[in-house]
Amino acid sequence: MPGKVNPTQCEAVTMVAAQVFGNQVAVTVGGSNGHFELNVFKPMIVRNVLQSTRLIADASVSFAVNCVDGIKANKVMLKFHRIVCIIREIGETYLKIYFFSKLLHN
């Protein structure tokens, strides 16, 4: 499809967030089930915290390099959308807004 955007980087960040949430639950359970000062869950807690840190760091770098770098604002469309917002605030009907915005766009 022409003009289709490939959302793989955004989806990867979402997957990382889901994994970090899961790791946080495991850390919480491990911390709450430790008895006295002898917490047998410490290795699992450390592993999950380190994995979450590594995942967030790697995902941040990948997202910045493959998605964020090179993004530029379309100043013409920004101006167009500002005008439409101003017209809506004035209280015009939807049909008048539609025709006026079409006129401005052309």
* Residue 8, both tokens: 């793989």
| Distance from C-alpha of 79 to C-alpha of 82, rounded to nearest angstrom | 5
| pLDDT computed for residue 90 by the predictor | 66
Q: Which residues of the chain have pLDDT under 50?
A: none
| pLDDT computed for residue 13 by the predictor | 96
| pLDDT computed for residue 63 by the predictor | 94
| pLDDT computed for residue 64 by the predictor | 93
| pLDDT computed for residue 103 by the predictor | 79
Residue ranges per structural domain of the chain: 8-68, 75-105
